[in-house]
Amino acid sequence: MEFLDVKVFGNSLYSWSMAALLVALGVMLLYFLKSVLVMRLNRTDGQQNFQLARIFSGTINSTSALVILVVSTFLASTVLNLPAIADLYMRKAAVVAVILQFGLWSGHFITILIEHYFKLSGREAQQASGVTIIKFIVKFAVWVGIVLLILDNFDVNITALVTGLGVGGVAIGLATQSILSDLFASLSIILDKPFQKGEFIAVGEMSGTVERIGLKTTRMRSIDGEQLVFSNSDLLQSRIRNYEYVTERRNVLRLGVVYGTPVEKLQSIPDLLRGIIEANPRVRFDRVHFKSYGDYALNFEVVYFVLDKDYGVFMDVQQEINLAIYAAFAAEGIEFAYPTQTLFVQKNA
């Protein structure tokens, strides 16, 4: 066994063998711990706990084999008598590996967390571009921090670099102010959800179905068929009416009968109108009143709600009620008013 005492690079073969054994044991131990943690997390019960466990399980599972090898090698090197410079670089390599692994964990954790958030909202497919840009921005910020930590570990003065990045960031921000404004407006739309793809909205005098929410613009298909394009920043500064969450549509019906209608018939009109509206199963009656004396008519006002958000159904119901009112008035001998003018002519003797 004398050959084990042979010196190689200042250490015996026995010491090198022990170091190699420690590397192998370290790799196996770290892999074992990783596998046990992932297995335990995957067996978590309960829906909420399961989701959290899946996020942490995926994060731990992203542990790099190279990082495990570098850390194990550094720990094993402590049993060797290495030159100061070699020991220093081994230590720095281990620190860099740990920092990189932290970056990998952070990036993976953020990715799964963002995807999980949008899956809970049920709109991940509709917001694919937004999800991608959010993940990119957050992961980019994480890796910028990781790179700065690595440079600092190698004694690089990062103060000037950070200052330069800040000045450069301000210059780029000023040059791309309009683009960044639309980009952050897009993120605001995605996170706050004032509307979603496929929903019918109105912006000012224009309305249509949302076809695409992009990074700079949002595109809608109008009722007439043309495509409407809005910049995201302008869109958020406008008043938006979202019809997706309408459960019923309100209609105000105004009609007038001629002056000279007998008072008995005037008194019967509210009950007549109410009966017609309440007879329709798709309508919720609200009120009916003899509202005012007009220039040429006695005006009545009826308010009811159609119990469907579909505009086509709303128009069908309105048509049914209008026809029923016309038929009922004809049967009762009640005349609708229309603009008339009476001219009195006086003949001078």
In angstroms, the CA 269 to CA 174 distance is 67
Whether 218 and 306 share a structural domain: no
* Residues above pLDDT 90, as percent of the chain: 23
Alpha helices in 78-230 (DSSP H): 84-121, 128-153, 158-175, 177-192
Whether 273 and 220 share a structural domain: no
Q: Judging by DSSP bridges, how do beta strands 206-213 and 217-222 pair with one another?
A: antiparallel
Tell me 246's DSSP state.
-
CATH at residue 253: 3.30.70.100
- Which position has the token pair 């595109």? 219
Please provide residue 229's backbone torsions phi and psi, each rounded to the nearest 5 degrees: -120, 125
Alpha helices in 176-245 (DSSP H): 177-192, 232-236
186 within domain boundaries:
no
Whether 314 and 210 share a structural domain: no
Q: Which of 129-143, 163-177, 198-212, 269-283 has the lowest mean pLDDT?
A: 163-177
Whether 278 and 310 share a structural domain: yes
> Could you give the number of structural domains in the chain?
3
Whether 146 and 290 share a structural domain: no
- Report pLDDT for 103: 82
Q: Which two tokens stand for residue 96?
A: 């860099």
Q: Residues 222-234: pLDDT tens digits? A: 888 889 888 888 8
pLDDT at residue 280 tops 90: yes
Whether 221 and 137 share a structural domain: no
pLDDT at residue 50 tops 70: no
- Name the more confident of 33 and 158: 33
Whether 219 and 308 share a structural domain: no
Please, which pLDDT band fits residue 175 given cuts at 50, 70 and 90? Answer: very low
Q: Residues 188-241: pLDDT tens digits? A: 777 777 888 888 888 888 888 888 887 778 889 988 888 988 888 888 888 888
pLDDT at residue 285 tops 60: yes
In the chain, the N- to C-terminal Cα span, in Å, equals 153
Return the number of other C-beta atoms located less than 10 Å from residue 130's C-beta: 21
pLDDT at residue 8 tops 70: no
Whether 276 and 313 share a structural domain: yes
Q: Contact, 212 vs 206, CB < 8 A?
A: no
Q: Residues 53-109: pLDDT tens digits? A: 777 777 777 787 888 888 888 888 777 777 777 777 788 888 888 888 888 888 777
CA atoms within 13 A on the CB side of 340: 11
Q: Residues 287-323: pLDDT tens digits? A: 999 999 998 899 999 999 999 888 889 999 999 999 9
Choosing from 226, 242, 258, the residue where a domain stops is 242
Structural domain boundaries enclosing 216? 195-242
